[in-house]
Amino acid sequence: MIVCEACGMAVPDTSTFCTSCGAMLPAPAGSDHAGAAEPGSGDREFLIWERKIPLITNPYLVAQCIGIPLLLGIILGSVFRLITGADDMLLMFVVVGAFMALVFLFVTAILHIVTGGGLLTTFCIGPDGVSHRAGRMTAGIDRAATAGAALMGSMGGTGAGLIAISQEYNTLEWNDVRFISVYPSLRSIVFRSPWLISPVVLYCTEENYPRVLAFVRQYAPAAAARNMRI
């Protein structure tokens, strides 16, 4: 067993990432951090790499910027409408959610420019599943945005920020993968489970994209492979 440096949880020494918090675990001594054995070689098979996640040009992130505040607005508005009996509560929260979505899109566009095209993120694929870990800049931005929304009294913005923080370490084991979508033009692979709010997305480099696809074909469950869309 080895101890995760991020959360202190003990995990099997054959794991490539922590099953508790999703943090990447140190590669074995003598292995290449950027990637290990090819699929089927018999060695400990995993790939770990870094790439900037595109922001305003990223359809998944844009959908979250719009969808999460609106969804939270609808949920909170419906709850307060039931509690208070005021019919205009739902509309008010939806309007607030729409405003926060516009703010998030504006901030995302600014960050895209400031960061030179995206935020650096670490990705991993191996026998256990797939995962990604946000970089320090992303973590700092998430916390600053959440604190700002809380100070402004925005429940929708605060909720969206907390969701973003919870997804900084995102892990999905192969047994939980149900749908896989491959986008060659973006060199990205989307893994979905029945209960995740958002999918786990691997953004590959031009060099490792074929190898990542080989790992997916080897380890993906049969049901997910049948639902694999390219």
Averaging pLDDT over each range in 81-85, 121-125, 222-226, which range is the top one? 121-125
Q: What was the pLDDT predicted at 199?
A: 80
Residue with the larger pLDDT of the pair 165 and 57: 57
Residue 36 lies in a domain: no
Q: What was the pLDDT predicted at 119?
A: 78
Q: How far apart are CA 61 and CA 117, in angstroms?
A: 13
Residue 34 lies in a domain: no
Q: How far is CA 189 from CA 8, 84, 134, 183, in A?
A: 30, 44, 17, 6
Mean pLDDT for all residues in the chain: 76
Contact present, 45 and 27 (Cβ < 8 Å):
no
Q: What was the pLDDT predicted at 31?
A: 41
Contact present, 221 and 177 (Cβ < 8 Å):
yes
Q: What was the pLDDT predicted at 37?
A: 44
Q: What was the pLDDT predicted at 32?
A: 40
Q: What was the pLDDT predicted at 25?
A: 64
Contact present, 144 and 192 (Cβ < 8 Å):
no
Residue 40 lies in a domain: no
Residue 35 lies in a domain: no
73-105 pLDDT, tens per residue?
888 888 888 888 887 888 888 888 888 888 878
Res 39 pLDDT > 60: no
1-14 pLDDT, tens per residue?
778 776 777 776 65
Task: Give residue 129's domain range.
Answer: 2-20+46-226
Residue 28 lies in a domain: no
The total number of structural domains that make up the chain? 1
Contact present, 164 and 130 (Cβ < 8 Å):
no
Q: How far apart are CA 150 and CA 156, in angstroms?
A: 9
Residue 142 lies in a domain: yes
The mean pLDDT value for 57-83 works out to: 82
Residue 83 lies in a domain: yes
Res 225 pLDDT > 70: no
Residue with the larger pLDDT of the pair 51 and 16: 51
pTM to 2 decimal places: 0.61
Residue with the larger pLDDT of the pair 188 and 54: 188
Q: What was the pLDDT predicted at 36?
A: 46
CA 84: distance to chain centroid? 36
The mean pLDDT value for 52-75 works out to: 80
The mean pLDDT value for 135-155 works out to: 74
Residue 30 lies in a domain: no
Q: How far apart are CA 223 and CA 113, in angstroms?
A: 40
Percentage of the chain surpassing pLDDT 70?
71
